[in-house]
């Protein structure tokens, strides 16, 4: 079979194209080697294929339109092909059918890569919205941070938390690795994770962690009220794997852990904002009855604007310094009389002299507080998340009550507003209940800065609850 094909010299060496032409001639295939596109004459009806190398489809089409302007109406255009078709035909000894891979590539216009975002170095300088643009990337980094925490590797945990905090504050989605260039606290490990997710949609390291038995068991155990990383790790090393394993050995459990295990199904479900507001009214009424003039502030995630959470935090104070002393037992007594308390652990104030705070491991350890499980009545027909039984009349919810003197209220409010990641960024350590904590006292701030900090916290609080 005779055929005419024209080769346009591109980036391949001349001797290679000459060799291909010679090979074609041996197989009785008529080929003309052209060194420039001007030499090609496509008006001839014998020309059935034009083979080009190093040319895009757009360039070839433009060339063809110029060359075929004088073609008579109805004349056929030769196929514009990549040189791979030519080499395949040489191997086969005859012109092979044209496949998709033989056609010239369509050049996709290059989009300009997004420019790197500028980011302040400190988390407190960055506005961070509740709803951000990089959920999948953030989930991956938070998984690695959580796994590092389970291994008690505080350095790695801090690194991943810092990178996650930066991602949350970005003004748009990350679509190219170049956007991370120059961002503070975004280390090489975190960059590799993001790169894998952008290129493949999945990160092998993250998936390996999520599927590992230890990670899953540690996550299960640390979700129990009163169980921290150290306890969960000890149970895992002792061979415990399920909640039933724990129920079969109650002697291992503290009273707090027994209560947490007893109400685990309810406590694992998310608390809705409507439930938090209902609890706010209940606690506010009890506090008002125990000490008129005292105030109750909703703290934690709900103060940050979240619609759901795993527990509810309330901060109690009185404008007159010292009046708050001994308030919490009276409040708990009032709540117990209403049948609302399923469990509580009271801790007295350990801060006797504000000028010389005792060394503490956890946030606000000096404040009087109570870690509780409340019995929250449910309206008829209410749907309780995770419950398969017909409409329960109540559900167990986690509540923390903290009492702070008015002079320390702004600092307590800052600490108990959170978040957990924010506390980790301050270099804090996870507490037994999973809360990451650090003590804050007025003496840590001097003079005008102390008064300014207190003023800003109070103004923010008033604005939040006035809107």
Burial of 360 (0-12, 13-18, 19+ CB in 10 A): middle
Say whether 313 counts as a known binding-site residue.
Answer: yes
Q: 424: how many CB neighbours lie within 10 A of its CB? A: 23
Nearest to 284 by CA among 273, 274, 296: 296
Listed range (21-25, 207-211, 314-318, 345-349) with the worst mean pLDDT: 21-25
- Beta strand 429-430 with 341-347 is unpaired
Listed range (113-127, 143-157, 196-210) with the worst mean pLDDT: 113-127
- Beta strand 4-8 with 368-377 is unpaired
**Sheet of strand 47-52: strand arrangement:** 30-34, 4-8, 47-52, 79-82
Provide the pLDDT for residue 281. Answer: 97
pTM flag (> 0.95): no
φ/ψ region of 253 (left if φ > 0, alpha if ψ in -120 to 50, else beta) reads beta
More confident site: 354 or 74: 74
Q: Give me the active site residues, please.
A: 311, 313, 400
Q: Where in the chain is the domain with CATH 1.10.150.110?
A: 133-211
Listed range (108-112, 183-187, 190-194, 417-421) with the worst mean pLDDT: 108-112
Q: Where in the chain is the domain with CATH 3.40.50.10190?
A: 4-102
Q: Where in the chain is the domain with CATH 3.30.460.10?
A: 267-466
Cα distance between residue 101 and residue 81, in whole Å? 9
Provide the pLDDT for residue 445. Answer: 43
More confident site: 107 or 303: 303
Question: What tens digit of pLDDT does each residue of 277-331 get?
Answer: 999 999 999 999 999 999 999 999 999 899 999 999 999 999 999 999 999 999 9
Provide the pLDDT for residue 361. Answer: 46
More confident site: 298 or 2: 298
Question: Computed from CA positions of residues 35, 38, 43, 44, in that sequence, does the dihedral angle turn out positive or negative?
Answer: negative
Q: Where in the chain is the domain with CATH 1.10.150.20?
A: 213-262
Both structure tokens of 230: 């150290």
More confident site: 454 or 127: 127
Say whether 311 counts as a known binding-site residue.
Answer: yes
What CATH class is the domain 4-102?
Answer: alpha beta
H-run or E-run covering 466: helix 447-466
Listed range (157-166, 359-368, 428-437) with the worst mean pLDDT: 428-437
Provide the pLDDT for residue 123. Answer: 79
Per-residue pLDDT at 453 exceeds 70: no
Q: pLDDT tier at 452 (50, 70, 90 boundaries)?
A: very low
CATH topology of domain 213-262: DNA polymerase; domain 1 (1.10.150)
DSSP state of 124: G
Superfamily of domain 267-466: Beta Polymerase, domain 2 (3.30.460.10)
Nearest to 421 by CA among 82, 146, 211, 106: 146
Question: Computed from CA positions of residues 388, 390, 391, 396, in that sequence, does the dihedral angle turn out positive or negative?
Answer: negative
Provide the pLDDT for residue 379. Answer: 80
Across the strands, what pairs with 275?
none
Q: How many residues does the chain have?
A: 467
Provide the pLDDT for residue 131. Answer: 87
Per-residue pLDDT at 269 exceeds 60: yes
Mean pLDDT for the stretch of residues 9-17: 39
Is the domain covering 133-211 a CATH 3.20.20.70 domain?
no
Question: What tens digit of pLDDT does each residue of 329-376 get?
Answer: 999 999 999 999 999 999 887 665 444 444 444 445 578 999 999 999
């Amino acid at each position: 079979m005779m055929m005419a094909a024209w080769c346009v010299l591109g980036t391949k060496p001349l001797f290679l194209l000459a060799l291909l032409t010679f090979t074609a001639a041996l197989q009785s295939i008529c080929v003309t080697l052209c060194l420039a596109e001007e030499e090609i004459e496509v008006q001839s009806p014998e020309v059935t294929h034009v083979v080009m190398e190093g040319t895009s489809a757009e360039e070839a089409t433009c060339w063809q339109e110029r060359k075929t302007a004088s073609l008579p109406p109805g004349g056929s255009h030769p196929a514009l092909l990549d040189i791979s078709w030519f080499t395949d035909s040489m191997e086969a000894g005859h012109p092979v059918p044209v496949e998709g891979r033989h056609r010239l590539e369509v050049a996709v216009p290059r989009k300009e890569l997004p420019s790197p975002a500028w980011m302040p170095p400190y988390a407190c300088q960055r506005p961070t919205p509740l709803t951000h643009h990089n959920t999948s990337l953030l989930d991956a980094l938070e998984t690695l941070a959580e796994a590092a925490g389970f291994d008690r590797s505080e350095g790695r945990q801090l690194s991943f938390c810092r990178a996650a905090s930066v991602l949350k504050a970005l003004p748009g989605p990350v679509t190219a690795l170049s956007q991370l260039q120059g961002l503070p606290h975004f280390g090489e490990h975190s960059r590799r994770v993001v790169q894998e997710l952008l290129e493949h949609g999945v990160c092998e390291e993250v998936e390996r962690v999520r599927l590992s038995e230890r990670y899953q068991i540690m996550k299960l155990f640390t979700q129990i009220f009163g169980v921290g990383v150290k306890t969960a790790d000890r149970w895992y090393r002792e061979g415990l794997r399920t909640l039933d394993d724990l129920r079969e050995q109650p002697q291992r459990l503290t009273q707090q852990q027994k209560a947490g295990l007893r109400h685990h199904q309810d406590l694992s479900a998310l608390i809705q904002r409507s439930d938090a507001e209902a609890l706010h009214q209940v606690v506010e009424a009890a506090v008002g009855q125990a000490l008129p003039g005292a105030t109750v502030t909703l703290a934690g995630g709900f103060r940050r604007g979240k619609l759901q959470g795993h527990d509810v935090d309330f901060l109690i104070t009185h404008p007159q310094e010292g009046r708050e002393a001994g308030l919490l037992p009276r409040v708990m007594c009032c709540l117990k009389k209403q049948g609302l308390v399923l469990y509580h652990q009271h801790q007295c104030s350990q801060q006797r002299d504000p000028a010389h705070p005792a060394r503490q491991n956890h946030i606000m350890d000096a404040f009087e507080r109570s870690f509780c499980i409340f019995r929250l009545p449910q309206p008829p027909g209410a749907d309780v998340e995770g419950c398969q039984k017909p409409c329960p009349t109540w559900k167990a919810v986690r509540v923390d009550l903290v009492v702070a003197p008015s002079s320390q209220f702004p600092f307590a409010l800052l600490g108990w507003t959170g978040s957990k990641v924010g506390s980790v960024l301050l270099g804090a350590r996870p507490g037994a209940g999973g809360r990451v904590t650090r003590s804050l006292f007025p003496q840590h701030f001097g003079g005008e800065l102390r008064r300014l900090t207190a003023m800003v916290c109070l103004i923010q609080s008033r604005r939040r609850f006035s809107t």
